[in-house]
Structure 1
């Protein structure tokens, strides 16, 4: 069995299509198809069902995917131990994160890593969506829930709080509510409910069961900017709100608490660049722990 064929198989399985895998591997479509066919021939079984929308794993393909990931993990570990990454930390690490944490906290800090390690490239993807680590959409993901499925390594970073905030201008012009019942008399800024990536982020009812935001923004940073501009009262990340002197807390309801988790796939655990970046993020969060709660 040719390892390169297995590597191509994993890319197709994760991309869900041959063309997507070819782009990731920087190979042409025909080469990827030929490698998959060679692997299927060597195993004497079909690993994919070809569909109009892409390629879907067969039952045999699902079983082989587990084996192939173990092979990949062993290969990564062998390269890290034998060839090593030397004293230099090199390569690319893509980090997927919620936009609030990614933009407000990580973006100002991660540049230090590329200063410390000249051959290391960091790709930060701070968007309000979930990332599939098994499909290699990211090397490291910051999540708001601990994953319960998959071969993933997860470590809790920090608890954080969300509370009600308004701009000073809004407070001066409209006053501020002192109870949840008074919120209905105010303009509210919220999130787009059907675009939340996790049930734990659908938290408006914890502040007021009748919460009805007439202005909805699908990102945490967007909600913050809307509240700062005087659009109304919003539920904001406390650590982000504290960065803006023009925001004031609203005492109508107490803050709620959530948590951030740092997660990566088990197969990349041996890579020094993953360990270095993970340790850096954890250390930066620890230094700023008081900011979050």
Structure 2
């Protein structure tokens, strides 16, 4: 079995379409189609079902996916072993993270990692969305829940808190609520509930059963900026709010606690660059632990 054909199969399975896989691999889509056809011929079965929206795995394709991922893991491990245990860290690592943690915490710190390893390229994708590690949308993901499915390696990074905040200007003009019931008399800034990437991030009811934010923003950083501008009272990440002296805590409701996890697919475990980035993030979080709670 040709490893290149298996590699192309994995790209199509993860992208869900031949054109997307071709772009990711940097080769012509006709070549991708031809190599998939050759693999199907050698296996004497159809691996993909062509649809108007792309390529779906057949039942045989689903079974072969597990085999292909084990082959991929062996190839990665073999290359890592041949490369040895030298100090050189090279290649590209993509990190998917929630926008608050990604921009406010990771972005100012990752430059030190790339300065330490000149041959390492780090791609930070800090957006409010979930990332599929099995589809290789990221090499490392920061999540707010521990994954329970898939061949993933997960470790808890840190607990963090979210609390109510208002700008000093808003407090001076409108006062602050003393109880959760008083929140109904205030302008509220919130998130777009149906775009929350995790059930654990749909937490408004923990602050007020009748939470009714007329200004909703899908980005944690966007909510912070709106509250700073006096748009109302919002539920903000404590570690972000603390960096803005113009924000004050609203003590009508105590903060709630959540957690960040660092996750990667088990097939990339042998890669030195993945381990280097994972270790760096863990060390930086540990140094700043008091910031989060």
TM-score scaled by structure 1? 0.99
1:19 paired with 2:19, answer yes
Gaps spanning 5+ residues in structure 1: where? Answer: none
Deviation at residue 17 of structure 1 after TM alignment? 0.3
1:219 paired with 2:219, answer yes
Deviation at residue 88 of structure 1 after TM alignment? 1.1
Distance (Å, rounded) in 1 between the aligned partners of 2:85 and 2:100:
33
Q: Which residue of 1 aligns with 2:39?
A: 39
Deviation at residue 209 of structure 1 after TM alignment? 0.5
Residue 189 of structure 1 aligns to a residue in which SS? strand
Distance (Å, rounded) in 2 between the aligned partners of 1:247 and 1:86:
47
The alignment of Structure 1 onto Structure 2 pairs a total of residues equal to 293
Q: Which residue of 2 aligns with 1:74?
A: 74
Distance (Å, rounded) in 1 between the aligned partners of 2:55 and 2:83:
34
Q: Which residue of 1 aligns with 2:285?
A: 285
Distance (Å, rounded) in 2 between the aligned partners of 1:123 and 1:209:
39
Residue 226 of structure 2 aligns to a residue in which SS? helix
**Cα root mean square deviation, aligned:** 0.7
- Cα distance per residue 1:190-211 (max 9 Å; x no partner): 0011110100000000000100
Residue 208 of structure 1 aligns to a residue in which SS? coil
- Cα distance per residue 1:16-67 (max 9 Å; x no partner): 0000000000010111011101110110000000111000000000000001
Distance (Å, rounded) in 1 between the aligned partners of 2:147 and 2:237:
22
Matches within 5 A, 1:150-169: 150-169=150-169
Distance (Å, rounded) in 1 between the aligned partners of 2:235 and 2:252:
11
Distance (Å, rounded) in 1 between the aligned partners of 2:129 and 2:144:
11
- Cα distance per residue 1:153-199 (max 9 Å; x no partner): 00000000000000000011111001000000000000011110100
Q: Which residue of 2 aligns with 1:98?
A: 98
Matches within 5 A, 1:1-293: 1-84=1-84, 86-293=86-293
Distance (Å, rounded) in 2 between the aligned partners of 1:8 and 1:79:
18
Distance (Å, rounded) in 1 between the aligned partners of 2:53 and 2:291:
46
Residue 27 of structure 2 aligns to a residue in which SS? coil
Distance (Å, rounded) in 1 between the aligned partners of 2:61 and 2:109:
41
Residue 63 of structure 1 aligns to a residue in which SS? helix
Gap change, CA 1:85 and 1:93, over 3 Å in 2: farther
Deviation at residue 82 of structure 1 after TM alignment? 1.2
- Cα distance per residue 1:229-265 (max 9 Å; x no partner): 0000000000000000000000110100000000000
Distance (Å, rounded) in 1 between the aligned partners of 2:139 and 2:178:
44
Distance (Å, rounded) in 1 between the aligned partners of 2:46 and 2:85:
36
TM-score scaled by structure 2? 0.99
Gap change, CA 1:84 and 1:38, over 3 Å in 2: farther
Distance (Å, rounded) in 1 between the aligned partners of 2:61 and 2:152:
21
Deviation at residue 83 of structure 1 after TM alignment? 3.1
Residue 283 of structure 1 aligns to a residue in which SS? helix
Residue 132 of structure 1 aligns to a residue in which SS? coil
